[in-house]
Structure 1
């Protein structure tokens, strides 16, 4: 199987540019925010509660209200690994008062297989704000103390090691398939409706391991242990956890999270929403909270989304071929 490196978006240069732009254009951005929104915004998470999308949305709520005086009202529309929500987004009012979380690789991979009810290009993404590196996680009392322990068990009895994850054709599904190929093992991957449900299955003993993220481990520090993380470098919150690359597996990747509006939403409103959430992402207090939870912040505003999505689609198409989703 050909291994794919997932490109990390232009963190340094882009962040510097955005922060400089914010310093210069801050008053103009604030003026725009003053006229929109003038009432609460519905923020739909297309997964169940408790996962990374929900956690970050909850953190964004305070700062959105600080900037606009309005609230983000979080609702859930779980099902189909996000497809239930994304397939209905363009039927909703395109007035800027309904936004929906979007996730990569989900929104790219799902339409490559059977029809999930939406196409990637039909989703009007306006901002991508973070990603979380993949991580293989077990309970603290697991007999698997190291990645080698889990691999040995999987080799001894193929399919006996059960692993939870957030849906099919998700970042977790990709991570498991890539890992199986590189380690030459076979596990039993069990998809759940979101990361919250996947970690609950692990903690409840329904599975022996979970494909989660650094955020999952940060949120359950006293209950779980990461065996390895799919990043170029060790995460600062977990300096003792090796990367897959250190252990001999050239594996990096994770889940990117952003937001979209119905396709009919006016351009000026879409730009305004993008600016509002950029302001939140640049807030030092918010950034610290996110980093403490294991997130890696990025800034992909509306004007850069097309380029970002094109790069991601190219990378995920290679993975899709290896997974047999496309020929």
Structure 2
């Protein structure tokens, strides 16, 4: 080693020492921050809810109703970030890779459960998340044109059995909740209906008006206005209980398909390593917000049922939905992508 090198050595040692101290400081601050975040002061700054839908849809609007109330309760901004694209992948991946501190939340639900079995490869896994609470449940409606001869589900099933393969049921794209519920209905009712997928709800309803399809299965928010106006007739809803906004419409279970219960729903998930104290506090805050009568009323007007759960209940619901829709996908012969 030369004399110059020996003279330079202390400089490099000093740099290394300073760097090590900086790293230690950052790690210490991070640990302290994580410890503080797990305490009763959560949230102490703005919280982001990452939504896999474009602005203006039912999933987005109901989340904004909830977020507004949660902001009032916790005294910190609760911000809705719309990150649509690639199904649920864009938003789910963003949250899965976020810091597990409770400040980046994923609006998941049954759609994420369906994606986990429909797609062979995703940039995230359901195990990347800890479930917090359900937020909103969206029943689907089995609807026909306002001038159709069917007055109830029994009429429709009788006609389908009398003319196997002749009636079409329209839904949005293959693998969507609507599409899978249609497959489930066909199986439970024991009828030979042709399930016809379209690109959008607008196309589905246009096909119904044009009689290209004779019946449609769609989430209530998308058809509530047309049901109210009489343009379409709701024969039944797919949830276990009647939707409060359409109390006169029976369930499919009441209409002869015992045990039928299928809904679309949304819920909050956080990165898997989030502290349990944060998860439980967020779940409790969510339950308080969703119990508010004004929140319930606003969500009902949007076609949704505001309903919170515990983290354990939501976790069981995710598991049950994953298993249910996997069976439907396999029985319907829908190829994995």
What TM-score comes out, normalization by structure 2 length? 0.70
Match of residue 84 from structure 1: 90
1:147-186 maps to which residues of 2 (within 5 A)? 147=153, 148=155, 152=159, 158=165, 161=168, 163-165=170-172, 167-181=173-187, 182-186=189-193
Match of residue 300 from structure 1: 309
Q: 1:131 deviation in Å?
A: 1.8
Aligned residues: 288
Q: 1:261 deviation in Å?
A: 1.7
Of 175, 187, 195, which residue of structure 1 is paired with 2:194?
A: 187
Q: Distance in 1 between matches of 2:195 and 2:327?
A: 23
SS of equivalent to 1:87: helix
Q: 1:230 deviation in Å?
A: 1.6
Of 93, 100, 103, which residue of structure 1 is paired with 2:106?
A: 100
Match of residue 23 from structure 2: none
Contact 1:154 1:161 in 2 (8 A): no
Match of residue 117 from structure 2: 112
Q: Distance in 2 between matches of 1:189 and 1:97?
A: 41
Q: Distance in 2 between matches of 1:204 and 1:212?
A: 13
Query: Considering only CA atoms, is the larger Rg found in Structure 1 or Structure 2?
Result: 2
Q: Deviations over 1:18-66 (max 9, x none)?
A: xxxxxxxxxxxxx94xx33333322221123343321211211321221
Q: Distance in 2 between matches of 1:323 and 1:42?
A: 38
Q: Distance in 2 between matches of 1:50 and 1:154?
A: 39
Q: Deviations over 1:247-267 (max 9, x none)?
A: 433432111210112334333
Contact 2:96 2:124 in 1 (8 A): no
Q: 1:158 deviation in Å?
A: 4.0
Contact 1:139 1:203 in 2 (8 A): no
Q: 1:300 deviation in Å?
A: 1.6
1:147-296 maps to which residues of 2 (within 5 A)? 147=153, 148=155, 152=159, 158=165, 161=168, 163-165=170-172, 167-181=173-187, 182-190=189-197, 192=199, 197-198=200-201, 200-204=202-206, 208=213, 209-218=215-224, 220=226, 221-222=228-229, 224-250=232-258, 251-296=260-305
Q: Distance in 2 between matches of 1:188 and 1:311?
A: 24
Match of residue 70 from structure 1: 76
Q: 1:85 deviation in Å?
A: 2.4
Query: Any stretches of 5+ residues in structure 1 without a counterpart?
Result: 1-30
Match of residue 138 from structure 2: 132
Of 61, 65, 68, which residue of structure 2 is paired with 1:59?
A: 65
What TM-score comes out, normalization by structure 1 length? 0.72
Match of residue 55 from structure 2: 49
Q: 1:237 deviation in Å?
A: 2.9
Match of residue 38 from structure 1: 44
Structure 2 vs 1, CA of residues 151 and 48 (structure 1 numbering), >3 Å: closer, same or farther?
farther
